[in-house]
Chain A
Amino acid sequence: MSEIDEKLRTELQRQGVWVTSMQELYNWGRKNSIWPLQFGLACCAIEMIATAASRYDIARFGGEVFRPSPRQADLMIVAGTVTKKMAPQIVRLYNQMADPKYVIAMGACAISGGPFKQGYNVLKGIDRYIPVDVYIPGCPPRPEALLHAFMELQRKIDGQKLTGTDKAEFLKPEQPSEFPVPKFGEHDLEPPANHDVFQPPKLERV
């Protein structure tokens, strides 16, 4: 698609000729029907429900079809506190989703543990076990923030290449689409983080 001249294309469109590519058509279809997995973990879920309801209306972006089965979902909205007891189930649900799949970590708890970060029972961010595409800060984030994240995700999907060396991650056969489910240990989850997915930044001391 990058080969065609934008001016020529708009000119052609004006004449009633629509020029597109397989990739553009494919991504256009995908980004406008992102079906989220229907589950909520804490108070962020209430905001997610508000986003799905008529006032904010996520249907405007094609995401209103909340699926009760991971097999039919494209997007996992991790809306709320992920307790250590819940984390294995979240990872298992992610593993059961079909590729291509995306994750939005919604709210302070899902991205870092939030107010419970120094506690014993809350996971310090779901990105310890599964890759996250969009992070939304906030406690809880407003529906507008979730819609913004949704639009960011659409932008990401729109930019994904189907061929070539820089093609989308999910098309690369060596990329894993499933991640190890953590086990319940005697003192903590085992392992406490999957370091293939999660590399925390090194703190620079000056």
Chain B
Amino acid sequence: MESLEQIKARIESSVPGAKTDIVPNGSPSQQHSLLIDNEHALAVAHFLRDDPALRLDFCSNVTGVDWLDRVVKKMAKIKTVVDGVEKEVDQTTAEKIPGYLEAVYHLYSMAHKHGPVIIRMRTEGRAKCAPLPSLTPVWRSAEFQEREIFDLYGIRFDGHPDLRRILMWDEFEDYPMRKDYVQPDDFEWEPTPHDEVLARAKQHYTPRPELDGAEEITSHSDVAKPNK
């Protein structure tokens, strides 16, 4: 199979206006992926599927990723003149990257027995129902998985034939796989609470300051002081 750089170059020459980026994967798998722009995503997907050399006719997996706002610190050596002497000085630059949601498609070719080619699409921001183009018209197998992403991450896939929640009920309003999802507080009783569960259990303990002393086991500020 061609390298990702070659695929990128061929996409950009075949689909006019398409912008693609290679997202490097630094892990030992070295499975780099191709970030495609939302506007030309459908055309790029058609190209990947129909190009005789690629024939990526099988979309094996679609998944979502939630990226929160983050700050990336970069170290760079910058030559500056200090007291008339040229020196190399380390300079850290902090780049703020606003959060976004991502859909990742793993593509294989049944005809040529090669793959995977991984393509990604990113939304503008993390708003509720942030739009992305649906690739279900290109790969039918993406239908349920795009519904699942819609259900759990809240990405709206424009052009999807049947975009409904698939795992949670229709009345449900949250997106449970988002990193800022807050579970309903349905703590009842734990025989052996530990770690996170212990932290949650402590929120529900009845306060007893006369026994616990300075131990701040409850964060309730409206706790009535017991009569002494």
Contact = CB atoms under 8 A, between A and B. Distances in A.
B173 A124 contact: no
B180 interface: no
Interface in B179-197: 181, 183-184, 186, 188-191, 196-197
Contact of B173 (A84, A186, A203, A205): A186
Q: Is the interface of A mostly helix, strand, loop or mixed?
A: loop
A203 B201 contact: yes
Interface residues of B, number: 21
Contact of B172 (A184, A201, A205): A184
B115 interface: no
Contacts of A118: 196-197
Interface in A189-206: 192-193, 200-203, 205
Contact of A120 (B169, B171, B181): B181
B81 interface: no
Contact of A187 (B184, B191, B196, B197): B184
A80 to B, nearest CB: 16
B190 A203 contact: yes
B57 interface: no
B168 interface: yes
A121 B167 contact: yes
Given A120-B183, A188-B184, A203 B176 contact: no
Interface string A78-105: 0000001100000000000000000000
Contacts of A201: 189
A26 B167 CA distance: 45
B83 interface: no
A118 B194 CA distance: 12
A170 to B, nearest CB: 27
B170 interface: yes
Given A118-B197, A186-B173, A187-B173, A124 B186 contact: yes
A13 to B, nearest CB: 48
Interface in B74-122: none
A125 B40 CA distance: 48
Given A124-B188, A200-B189, A203-B190, A184 B183 contact: no
B204 to A, nearest CB: 9
A133 to B, nearest CB: 21
Nearest to B181: A120
Interface string B6-39: 0000000000000000000000000000000000
10 contacts: A84-B169, A124-B188, A184-B170, A184-B172, A186-B173, A188-B186, A192-B184, A192-B186, A202-B189, A203-B191
Given A186-B171, A186-B172, A192-B184, 10 more contacts: A118-B197, A120-B181, A121-B167, A121-B168, A121-B176, A200-B188, A200-B189, A203-B190, A203-B191, A203-B205
